[in-house]
Amino acid sequence: MDEESRALDQKMKRNAAATDNNTIRGVDNTSIGTVYKKLTNDDFQLLEHFISNLKKFEYIPLEVIVKHFKKRFTEKEIVARVKKLAKMKLIERHPITEAYKLRFLGLDCAALHRLVTKDVIKAIGDEIGTGKESKLYIGISEDDSIVVVKFYRIWKSFRNISKMRSYGNDVGGVTWLVKSIVSGRREREALTILNKHSVDGVPKLYGGALHAVVIEYIPGRDLYAVTQFDNPEEILQQIIDIIKEAYIKANIVHGDLSEYNVVIDLEDMKSYIIDWPQYVSTAEPKAYEVLRRDVENVLKFFRRKFRVDKDLNEVIKYIVEGKSTSS
């Protein structure tokens, strides 16, 4: 086993336990690759029909689906296809009426099909983890690199009910699919800008579709889970330098930075900042406040865990200085 495979193997084992705890059993727990292989081009066309109607219907009446496909399929064929997708839990029937809505698993399969069709990836493997707002799989890109395929799964992360109500007060509703698609697009936007400006310490973006983001796989460990560094000051300095480069070169602030969104490649002792959908442009009035909060989270963590003490104001000054000349 070469070094990269060994790191990958360890990562998968580490994440297996977390996956067991976090996956919603009996809901979307089938391996996506297994489900995907059972689908035909006609199935994908049907899924795409659900996607183009996401904002129009919560549940699409069966008669609307039949009418849409009537030039290509008989009613009997289309009903059979709808039943197949419902049985596979890609779509879900309304409890009373003959109408169907898309589920996350259906959205995942549609995104995967687009990624394969667009030649972004050629294979998807095991789940490597479940974040609060996503499911992540290992994959192989067209150029044979190991990548992470991240599917957003935003549906319960709102802390208060009133905020939840504004999204339709329905944890299974299609508004959550739309929110997830928006997050996927936002993260791709941020990574595109960061990569374009060659910001070091950010994963390379390979592409994406709908709520899916395909990024470089970083063999390493989440910062929060690292118990010891030979030189914690150096790691903190690396993280500060990524924040600075993002700010100065790409004019971007992360917006959700903490020890949970930093991965450390322990072989090379190199830090990466991941998970960018909440990025803020430095042109936005709130950018400075967001930057302070991001930096404060990181400094607090290093102070608490590694007894490295840095002054917030001085670090902020270091990050923003040079801004007017470099951008």
Residues composing the chain? 327
- What is the smallest separation between the CB atom of 205 and ligand ATP, expressed in angstroms? 10
Give, as ranges, the residues between 132 and 151 that touch ligand ATP (CB under 6 A).
Answer: 132-134, 136, 148, 150
- What is the smallest separation between the CB atom of 237 and ligand ATP, expressed in angstroms? 22
Q: Is 275 in the site for ligand ATP (CB under 6 A)?
A: yes
Place of tokens 């090379």: 268
How far, in Å, CA of 216 to CA of 219, rounded? Answer: 10
- State which amino acid sits at residue 286: K
- Encoded one letter per residue, x for contact with Mg ion by CB under 5 A and - for no contact, window 259-288 reads --x-------------x-------------
Which CB sits closer to ligand ATP, 136 or 243? 136
Q: Is 217 in the site for ligand ATP (CB under 6 A)?
A: yes
Q: Is 190 in the site for ligand ATP (CB under 6 A)?
A: no
Identify which of 132, 127, 176, 131 has the alpha carbon closest to the alpha carbon of residue 149: 127
Dihedral (CA of 179, 183, 184, 186) sign: positive
Helix (H) or strand (E) holding 212: strand 212-216
- What is the smallest separation between the CB atom of 131 and ligand ATP, expressed in angstroms? 2
Scored b (16 or more CB within 10 A) or e, 283-307 reads: eeeebeebbbbbbebbbebbeebbe
Q: Is 172 in the site for ligand ATP (CB under 6 A)?
A: no
Q: Which residues bind ligand ATP (CB under 6 A)?
A: 129, 131-134, 136, 148, 150, 203, 215-218, 222, 260-261, 263, 274-275
Q: Would you tell me which residues interact with Mg ion (CB under 5 A)?
A: 261, 275
